Structure 1
Amino acid sequence: MKLGMLTACLPQLSLEQIAEWAAARGYEALEVAVWPGTGGRDFEAAHLSVAGFGQREADATRALFQQHGLELSALAYYENNLHPDPERREEIRTHLRHAIDAAAALDVPYVGTFIGRDWNRSVAQNLAEAERVIPPLVEYAGERGVKLLIENCVMEGWHPDGYPGNLAYSPELWEWMFSLDLYLNWDPSHLTWIGIDPVETIAPYAERIVHAQAKDVELRPRDRTRWGHFGPAVDRSGNPWDMGWWRYRVPGLGQVDWPHVVDRLYEAGFTGTLSVEHEDPVWGGDETRVKQGLDIAYRTLRPLLVG
């Protein structure tokens, strides 16, 4: 198991700058953000320009990772593949194919994305649509030796009422998406706040957990008594991602039992990358604090890994 980090938390830095810093801090792998860089959100960082990615770019990227002794664990483009706007959905599909092409050129085994959801339709209607939309993408990736990863993020901010906006948030839905030959980028933080014990989900689905996110979550149950699990209902005009009773934290500052998680991953035979996904508002806001948060995550997780 390698300890890595998702580069999206440092959108203002170049991949070269992140690689140099991460290697110096002891990180072993990078999960590289490859959004087009047009969305303006922190998690839409563009650390590789995958559109038109060719041999020259592939050689330069390989040389960079070799220089710093890092592994490129996956490319990250987490977008809504069931977006209700046909034009936006096609843009997403096109960019996802670019990401797959770049991964193939780099011999990177995984590209991460979301199932997503059309929030105007029921879950059943969305699943039927996904069974039409997703298989061609899986086939495109498979022909190039790449597997598509789906993160189990709830993406509640995509839904106008705070309901799940990514139909991959529970083991029930994992079983469905595995039937489409998708794999899981497993993240315990999302499971924790929706009431699922993350540790109990590892062994039954170990064969499909090929990459893992290391993100923590701080729960405030007393605040939940006002809104319930799905957050504010009367007024969601502010931050649609603020559910009012929980927030993401870097590993070690929330409720996730990391010693038990890592131990169970080892027991299940996991040999992939445990990739820190930094979305902690306390250790965020500027480059210095983000890096301090990544240092906290490293100090929490590194002693738990063998070697």
Structure 2
Amino acid sequence: MRLGLLTACLPGESLADVAGWAGAHGYRALEVAAWPDVPGRDWEASHLDVAAFGEAEAAGVRALMDEHDLEVSAVAYYENNLHADERVREQTHEHLRRCIDAAQLLGVGLVGTFVGRDVTRTVTENLRLAEKVLPPLVDYAAERDVRLVIENCPMEGWHPDGYPANLAYSPELWGWLADLGLWLNYDPSHLVWLGIDPVAALEAHADRVLHVQAKDVEVDPAARDRYGVFGRVIDRREWVSGWWRYRIPGLGQVDWQRVIAALHQAGYDGVVSVEHEDPVWSGDGERVRHGLTLAERALAPHLGA
């Protein structure tokens, strides 16, 4: 296994700057963020301009990775592929296709995304919608030797009441994903706050895991006693549950020794990509990089050669 990082945590820096720092600080792979560069959405990183990506750009990225002894583990575009607005949904699908094209040019076999959810429909209606609109994207990727890996994040902030808005959040759904030709970008942090044993879930579905994201989660049981598992309701703030928050690996409740041992046992030999969403080690590039340093120190001893 190799240690990587998702570049989205450094949206204001160039890919060259991120690669230079990562290669010098124990990282061997980058999961490269490829959101469209949209004004007013500064929290989304655009480290690959997939809309204008050709052979010359791919050669430049490959040379950059070689210079810093890195690989691209996946192209990353985590967006709502079942958006209620059909115009927005098609724009999302079009950008996802460009991410797939870029992955093909780079010789990268994975593109990370979400299933998403139309929040105006029931879960059952969304399952039927996904079965209609996602297979053409799976086929488009397969024709280019690329596979779509789905992160198991609930994306509760997309739902007006904080309910899951990415229909890949629980192991119950992972067999359904497989039937659609979708694979897993396994992140144990989400499972912990949902009350699911991340190791048991991994062991049952390890054959579907093609990429791993490393994020931790800090749970406050006393606050959960006040708000319940669905989180704060009165004066609700988007993306803030009131009883849990994401942390750098090693600073939360994920048992990384057990998780990585289970990956070893399953024969996983891919990338473990740090997804930095820790509010304590955020705010500026220096703090983010310090958080990434803490993550490397926590995870590297478990990964092996």
Question: For this structure pair, what is the TM-score category when the shorter chain's length is used for normalisation?
Answer: over 0.9
| Corresponding residue of 1:145 | 145
Poorly superposed stretches of 4+, deviation over 3 Å? 39-43
Map residues 1-307 of structure 1 onto 2, 5 A cutoff.
Answer: 1-38=1-38, 40-41=40-41, 44-236=44-236, 239-307=237-305
Residues 1:39 and 1:260: Cα distance change in structure 2 (over 3 Å): farther
TM-superposed CA distance for 1:224, in Å, is 1.0
TM-superposed CA distance for 1:203, in Å, is 1.7
* Contact 1:10–1:42 under 8 Å retained in 2: no
What CA distance in whole angstroms lies between the structure 1 residues aligned with 2:39 and 2:115?
Answer: 19
Q: 1:188-222 CA deviation, whole Å, 9 max, x = no partner?
A: 00000000000111121111101000000000010
Residues 1:193 and 1:47: Cα distance change in structure 2 (over 3 Å): same
TM-superposed CA distance for 1:305, in Å, is 1.3
2:58 aligns to what SS in structure 1? Answer: helix
What CA distance in whole angstroms lies between the structure 2 residues aligned with 1:61 and 1:244?
Answer: 41
TM-superposed CA distance for 1:235, in Å, is 3.0
TM-superposed CA distance for 1:52, in Å, is 2.4
What CA distance in whole angstroms lies between the structure 2 residues aligned with 1:291 and 1:4?
Answer: 13
TM-superposed CA distance for 1:37, in Å, is 2.2
TM-superposed CA distance for 1:234, in Å, is 3.2
Percent identical among aligned pairs is 61
* Contact 1:5–1:276 under 8 Å retained in 2: yes
1:80 aligns to what SS in structure 2? Answer: coil
Compare 1-10 and 223-232 and name the one that shifted more: 223-232
TM-superposed CA distance for 1:26, in Å, is 1.1
* Contact 1:250–1:278 under 8 Å retained in 2: yes
What CA distance in whole angstroms lies between the structure 2 residues aligned with 1:280 and 1:214?
Answer: 12
Letter in 2 for 1:268: A
* Contact 1:8–1:42 under 8 Å retained in 2: no
Residues 1:26 and 1:40: Cα distance change in structure 2 (over 3 Å): farther
* Contact 1:29–1:73 under 8 Å retained in 2: yes
TM-superposed CA distance for 1:45, in Å, is 0.5
Q: 1:100-151 CA deviation, whole Å, 9 max, x = no partner?
A: 0000011101000000001111100000000001000000000000000100
* Structure 1 gap ranges (5+): none
Count residues in correspondence: 305
1:291 aligns to what SS in structure 2? Answer: helix
Letter in 1 for 2:278: D
* Contact 1:110–1:148 under 8 Å retained in 2: yes
What CA distance in whole angstroms lies between the structure 1 residues aligned with 2:176 and 2:188?
Answer: 19
What CA distance in whole angstroms lies between the structure 1 residues aligned with 2:247 and 2:235?
Answer: 25
Q: 1:240-279 CA deviation, whole Å, 9 max, x = no partner?
A: 1000000000000000000111111000110110000000
What CA distance in whole angstroms lies between the structure 2 residues aligned with 1:44 and 1:138?
Answer: 24
Say what the alpha-carbon RMSD is for the aligned residues: 1.0
1:173 aligns to what SS in structure 2? Answer: helix
Q: 1:82-102 CA deviation, whole Å, 9 max, x = no partner?
A: 000111111101100000000
* Contact 1:9–1:42 under 8 Å retained in 2: no
Q: 1:48-87 CA deviation, whole Å, 9 max, x = no partner?
A: 1001211110111111101111010000000000000111
1:111 aligns to what SS in structure 2? Answer: strand
Letter in 1 for 2:248: V
Residues 1:116 and 1:8: Cα distance change in structure 2 (over 3 Å): same
Letter in 2 for 1:47: H
1:212 aligns to what SS in structure 2? Answer: strand
* Structure 2 gap ranges (5+): none
